[in-house]
Amino acid sequence: MRQIALLAGLAYWTGAARDVITDDAHFYGQSPPVYPSPEMVGGNEWEAAFQKAKALVSQMTLEEKVNLTAGVAADSTCSGTIPAVKRLNFPGMCLSDAGNGLRNTDFVSGFPSGIHVGASWSKDLAFRRGAAMGGEFKKKGVNVLLGPVVGPAWRTVRGGRNWEGISVDPWLSGVLVSQTVSGIQGQGVITSTKHYIGNEQETNRMPEGNTSSVSSNIDDKTMHEVYLWPFQDAVRAGSGNIMCSYQRVNNSYGCANSKTLNGLLKTELGFQGFVVSDWGAQHAGVATAEAGLDVAMPGASEFWGNHLVEAVKNGSLPESRVTDMATRVIATWYQFSQDTSFPKPGVGMPSNVLDPHEIVDGRDPAAAPVLLNGAIEGHVLVKNTKNTLPLKSPRMLSLFGYSAKTPDFFNPSSNLLFSQTWISGMEALDSNYVSDNGLPTFGKNGTMFGACGSGAITPALTISPFEALKIRASQEGTAVFNDFVSDKPSVEPSSDACIVFGNAWACEGYDRPAIRDDYTDSLIKSVADQCSKTIVVFHNAGPRLVDGFVDHPNVTAIIFAHLPGQESGPALVSLLFGDTSPSGKLPYTVAKNESDYGDVLDPAQPEGEFVNFPQADFHEGVYLDYRYFDKKGIEPRYEFGFGLGYTTFAYSNISINYIQGANTYPWPGGPIVSGGQTDLWDAIATVSVDIQNTGSVAGAEVAQLYIGIPGAPAKQLRGFEKPFLQPNESQSVTFHLTRRDLSVWSVERQKWQLQQGTYKFYVGSSSRRLPLNGTMDL
Ligand SMILES: *[C@@H]1O[C@H](CO)[C@@H](O)[C@H](O)[C@H]1NC(C)=O
Ligand SMILES: *[C@@H]1O[C@H](CO)[C@@H](O)[C@H](O)[C@H]1NC(C)=O
Ligand SMILES: *[C@@H]1O[C@H](CO)[C@@H](O)[C@H](O)[C@H]1NC(C)=O
Ligand SMILES: *[C@@H]1O[C@H](CO)[C@@H](O)[C@H](O)[C@H]1NC(C)=O
Ligand SMILES: *[C@@H]1O[C@H](CO)[C@@H](O)[C@H](O)[C@H]1NC(C)=O
Ligand SMILES: *[C@@H]1O[C@H](CO)[C@@H](O)[C@H](O)[C@H]1NC(C)=O
Ligand SMILES: *[C@@H]1O[C@H](CO)[C@@H](O)[C@H](O)[C@H]1NC(C)=O
Ligand SMILES: *[C@@H]1O[C@H](CO)[C@@H](O)[C@H](O)[C@H]1NC(C)=O
Ligand SMILES: *[C@@H]1O[C@H](CO)[C@@H](O)[C@H](O)[C@H]1NC(C)=O
Ligand SMILES: *[C@@H]1O[C@H](CO)[C@@H](O)[C@H](O)[C@H]1NC(C)=O
């Protein structure tokens, strides 16, 4: 197969047509052909919208239908626009970035990023954040929110976009993406769950010169159990749109791969909405239409438009495919009642916010608690010794580090990479973490409450940790000393505690340069040498190693603050002063050393005979993160699922129960609806435990269930609940297990299979603190 790839390269150099190299599903023979593209069939919750769409589309000419399949230039800052068909009163649609809040316009909020949602382990907050974002997108006339993200699935530890997603664990991502989709779409805004699929590194994500984009080579079992899993949850939750990705899967482009689009998505998962290309991810004409792409973005498609009309007229593409593309677009619009109750597309997205324009304030005061609590619950406290936290009316606090305060200035002229509109007088944040030469820096100029690229946020207001701390200090009578500039600051000896604020930066378009940096480690050590209670706070867009300083006896507290959004400062202050007890848990593993992550630390690079066709072989299979650490017996620094609070919890009374009358035949037999076979979600068993707050303050605990399925990794997350308990209070929590939760993917039968044998169950406060266990035989 590799030989064939090399031949294709030669064909390209000798000037073969572009379609030859991109029509690679056939060419390489690695991604099995799945044709024709399944037509939308409606049914169940999609039936009414499907019937209305069929009626409308039947009145359209071929040209009108083709027009719906690609973007047009528009007088707005929408990321993409599907044109109107005025004759039939279809007003068109506005699609905009992204999954952490509406970007690139005025009067919007900045929500916690995906990684922060993952770290909160809160289904309720994930739903309410989705609802609040959906409300803002709707007021601004954005029909399609370009998120949420479950690809990357965090395979590459240095991956530049992992933070836009939720977790390295597919089960956790699946539960929280499902809540997010339901929250957003409940407001009548369509989600574009992305990037489908295998979009696991930024390096070589797009073709460049004579180098093709990287190919994620994923075996069928791993595809189902890891990468497809959260997309399945999103489709089941009703996600109306899926965005196909830049890179290739088994050498066929994400937006031209008939196996992933026609096969997995539209057949196996029964997806009824439309597939949109990532911006510029279309590289062929008829081939992408046949492979299942429905809409090409952003601008007039170089490959479709008149070419698609011609392809139908000359018989190379059946008109039914174009009709299906248009039907999927229009049905999705009806499905969310955008025909009756939606603002004018792009109404709140002026092309230039500096010109006079009608102000559409997207924000809803009712979302304030969601912004604050969402920010609070995604902070993870991993170390707290010498009674450092919570702070108790300190006499003097000393603050250090470049991530404490909002940047003093923003230089739009250096912003070459991501054409972010700079809104004068507002605190927008995007590419100020990219230096003039375009190389990522560690973000030495300001607090990192979001990260950069299309998942960045541009809130109307943000409160930095420094600003919030000063206000609290004035209430507590605390003196505040700060030095945010020196790399070896001197510490005022009367400080009761010191806080060092660092970043672990990431951006779309790059993989992270490193997962620790000497500058910040040395700053932390230099403060700790002089301050007996040194609190380290990282705004981190992914794992950040701490072994450079964690054993320093004066580093007495460490908080992963992740990417909290606009309420970064108030959230941190609430935790530092003990108004709330930390309740976040790591949605990834923090290793002691880079090498502990194995081969997936770094992105795949073009090399050897594949220099023009970079290959990323996902040979580790399902063994990512804690599954890999378990398998290899590697001791992590802080394990997946770990996080401290200001109180303690005791676990007792595990009980494992079959559901009376549950069908435990190994194979599902149900019909396919959105999300797959209906009986994959049948309840098979429940696990209950009692949790008691044994400490002295109120707090929430994330109780986690891991299962060792026969023949699968030693343990995999299959349940979590987050009860809030007063001191001494106890509560029984129940985890509900479905057929899919207890199955493994059978490559032979192409179905999920319940296993025979002994299932092992573990319940506790992290993936390695599991006081309760039990078994169940199937
Ligand atoms: C990719 O190739 C592997 C190995 O042949 C196969 O198991 C898998 O189904 C293929 N997936 C796609 C999407 O082509
Ligand atoms: C298709 O879209 C173009 C650009 O918006 C427009 O000029 C043209 O009239 C449209 N064609 C039809 C048949 O609606
Ligand atoms: C890629 O193309 C450039 C210029 O077209 C050429 O100099 C270079 O040798 C090519 N690289 C490879 C690996 O073929
Ligand atoms: C039909 O039209 C398409 C799109 O322009 C073109 O790529 C293809 O070569 C044409 N086929 C024939 C047989 O003319
Ligand atoms: C940080 O800001 C200073 C000015 O205060 C500027 O000279 C420097 O280039 C900035 N650094 C980065 C990495 O943007
Ligand atoms: C810890 O901080 C104190 C100052 O409070 C300092 O005297 C001491 O040397 C520090 N310890 C270490 C190991 O640096
Ligand atoms: C840490 O990892 C680096 C490579 O990432 C390796 O060179 C080094 O030996 C490792 N150190 C230890 C102590 O394992
Ligand atoms: C565990 O179960 C026993 C017996 O039912 C009960 O008395 C006890 O309160 C339970 N423990 C907790 C923490 O609820
Ligand atoms: C918790 O229970 C213990 C023992 O019953 C009791 O001494 C203590 O006062 C209780 N604490 C609270 C906050 O109710
Ligand atoms: C299961 O729990 C029992 C009782 O706490 C403990 O002795 C045993 O080591 C645990 N087994 C595993 C596999 O964790």
210 CA distance to ligand 3 centroid (A)?
6
| Shared domain check, 300 and 194 | yes
- Gap from CA of 201 to ligand 5 centroid (Å): 28
Distance of CA 618 to the CA centre of its chain: 20
In tens, the pLDDT along 567-614 reads 999 999 999 999 999 999 999 999 999 999 999 999 999 988 888 989
Q: Kindly give, in sequence order, each residue whose CB lies less than 8 Å from that of residue 345, ignoring residues fewer than 6 positions away.
A: 76, 78, 81, 91, 92, 93, 94, 141, 142, 143
28 falls in which pLDDT band (50, 70, 90)? Answer: very low
CB of 690 closer than 6 A to ligand 8?
A: yes
Residues 329/274, Cβ–Cβ less than 8 Å: yes
- Ligand 2 atom closest to the Cα of residue 63 is 13
Note whether 743 and 656 are same-domain residues. Answer: yes
| Mean pLDDT to the nearest integer, 112-137 | 98
Q: What are phi and psi of 375, to 5 degrees?
A: -65, -45
Protein residues with CB under 6 Å of any ligand 5 atom: 435, 441, 444-445
Same domain as 318, residue 406? no
Structure token pair of residue 334 = 């009806």
**Which tokens is 378 given?**
């995604």
Chosen domain end from 335, 360, 389 = 335
- Shortest CA distance to 338 belongs to which of 194, 193, 234, 185? 185
| pLDDT exceeds 80 at position 110 | yes
**DSSP-derived secondary structure letter, 165:** S
612 lines ligand 3 (CB under 6 A): yes
In whole angstroms, give the CA distance from residue 574 to residue 319: 59
Maximum C-alpha span of the chain: 83
What CATH number should be reported for the domain holding residue 219?
3.20.20.300
Nearest to residue 402, comparing CAs of 436, 369, 367, 445? 445
Beta bridge partners of 772: 763
Structure confidence at residue 351 as a pLDDT band (50, 70, 90): confident
- Give the CA distances from residue 51 to residues 56, 209, 271, 327, 358, in Å, rounded to whole numbers and listed in that order: 9, 46, 16, 9, 37
Per-residue pLDDT reduced to its tens digit, 652-690: 999 999 999 999 999 999 999 999 999 999 999 999 999
727 belongs to a structural domain: yes
List the CATH number of the domain containing 660: 2.60.40.10
Least confident of 497-501, 592-596, 613-617: 613-617
Domain contains 2: no
Instruction: State the catalytic residue, choosing from 278, 294, 596, 625.
Output: 278
Which atom of ligand 3 is found nearest the CA of 13? 14
Name the percent of the chain lying above pLDDT 70: 91
Q: Considering 562, 596, 630, which residue would you say is the last residue of a domain?
A: 596
Model confidence at 208: pLDDT above 50: yes
- In terms of domains, do 525 and 665 share one? no
Containing structural domain, residue 681: 647-777
Which helix (H) or strand (E) segment is 172 a member of?
Answer: helix 170-185
The model's confidence at residue 407, banded by pLDDT at 50, 70 and 90, is low
594 lines ligand 7 (CB under 6 A): yes
Mean pLDDT of 168-181: 99
Q: Kindly state whether residue 633 falls inside one of the protein's structural domains.
A: no
Average pLDDT over residues 466-479: 97
Contact 770, 641 (CB under 8 A): no
3-state helix, strand, coil in the chain (%, to 5): 30, 20, 50
Q: Whose atoms come closest to the Cα of 249: which ligand?
A: 1
Give yes or no for residue 477 CB within 6 A of ligand 3.
no
CB of 311 closer than 6 angstroms to any ligand 4 atom? yes
DSSP H helices, 353-447, are 368-377
Q: Sign (positive/negative) of CA torsion 177, 182, 183, 184?
A: positive
pLDDT band at 2 (very low <50, low <70, confident <90, very high): very low
Strands 758-764 and 241-244: unpaired
- DSSP secondary structure code for residue 280 in this structure: T
Of the candidates 102, 95, 103, the residue with the CA atom closest to the CA atom of residue 74: 95
Please tell me whether the peptide bond between 376 and the residue prior to it is cis, using omega within 30 degrees of 0. Answer: no
- The conformation of residue 445, written as its DSSP 8-state character, comes to S
Mutate to test the pocket of ligand 5, among 430, 445, 519 (most ligand atoms within 8 A of CB): 445
Ligand 4 in reach of 310 Cβ (< 6 A): yes
Q: Are residues 320 and 389 part of one domain?
A: no
Pair (434, 550) in one structural domain: yes
Q: Are 324 and 65 in contact (CB under 8 A)?
A: no
In this structure, are 317 and 382 located in the same domain? Answer: no
Nearest CA to ligand 8 atom 3: 653
Which of 275, 310, 335 is the endpoint of a domain? Answer: 335
Confidence of residue 505 (pLDDT cuts 50, 70, 90): confident
Mean pLDDT of the chain: 91
Distance CA(431)–CA(509), nearest Å, equals 12
Write the CATH number for 501: 3.40.50.1700
* Cβ atoms < 10 Å from Cβ of 692: 18
The answer on 297 and 153 residing in a single domain is yes
CA of 18 to the centre of ligand 3 (A): 17
User: Which letter does DSSP use for residue 644 in this model?
Assistant: B
**Residue 312 CA to ligand 1 centre (angstroms):** 31
At 448 the pLDDT is 86
For ligand 4, is residue 308 a contact (CB within 6 Å)? no
Note whether residue 366 is domain-resident.
no
Task: Considering only residues 420 and 745, tell me which one the structure prediction assigns the higher pLDDT.
Answer: 745
pTM of the model: 0.94
Q: Quick check: is 341 in a domain?
A: no
Confidence band of 408 (pLDDT split at 50, 70, 90): low
For 8-11, the CB contacts below 8 A with 24+ separation are: 8/613, 9/210, 9/212, 9/612, 9/613
Q: Is ligand 8 within 6 A of the CB of residue 692? A: yes
384 shares a domain with 326: no
State whether residue 537 is helix, strand or coil.
strand
Q: Does a structural domain hold residue 515?
A: yes
Q: Is the pLDDT of residue 270 over 80?
A: yes
Under 8 Å between Cβ of 145 and 403: no
Q: Are residues 214 and 119 in the same domain?
A: yes
CA distance 407 to 427: 9
Burial of 280 (0-12, 13-18, 19+ CB in 10 A): middle
Q: Please check whether residue 514 lies inside any domain of the structure.
A: yes
With the most atoms of ligand 6 within 8 angstroms of its CB, the residue from 385, 530, 531 to mutate is 530
Assess whether the C-beta atom of 302 lies below 6 angstroms from ligand 4: no
Ligand 3 atom closest to the Cα of residue 210 is 1
pLDDT at 513: 86
What pLDDT is stored for residue 443 in this prediction? 47
Crossing angle for the helix pair 568-576 and 465-476, to the nearest 10 degrees: 40
Give strand pairing partners of 193.
242
Spell out the residues 6+ positions from residue 633 whose beta carbon is closer than 8 angstroms to its own: none
Give residue 22's pLDDT.
Answer: 38
Q: 585 and 728 in one domain? A: no
Among 434, 436, 444, name the best residue to mutate to test ligand 5's pocket (greatest count of ligand atoms within 8 A of Cβ).
Answer: 444
Contact partners, residue 537, CB within 8 Å, separation at least 6: 401, 403, 465, 499, 500, 501, 502, 559, 561, 572
- DSSP, res 29: -
Domain annotation covers residue 356:
no
Cα distance between residue 728 and residue 65, in whole Å: 64
Helix (H, G, I), strand (E, B) or coil at 299: coil
The predicted model gives 549-559 an average pLDDT of 98
Side-chain half-sphere CA neighbours of 324 within 13 A: 23
Sequence letter at residue 684: I
- Please say if 408 is a catalytic residue: no
Is the beta carbon of 364 within 6 A of some atom in ligand 4?
no
Q: How many domains does the chain have?
A: 3
652 shares its domain with 507: no
Q: Which ligand is nearest to the CA of 268?
A: 1
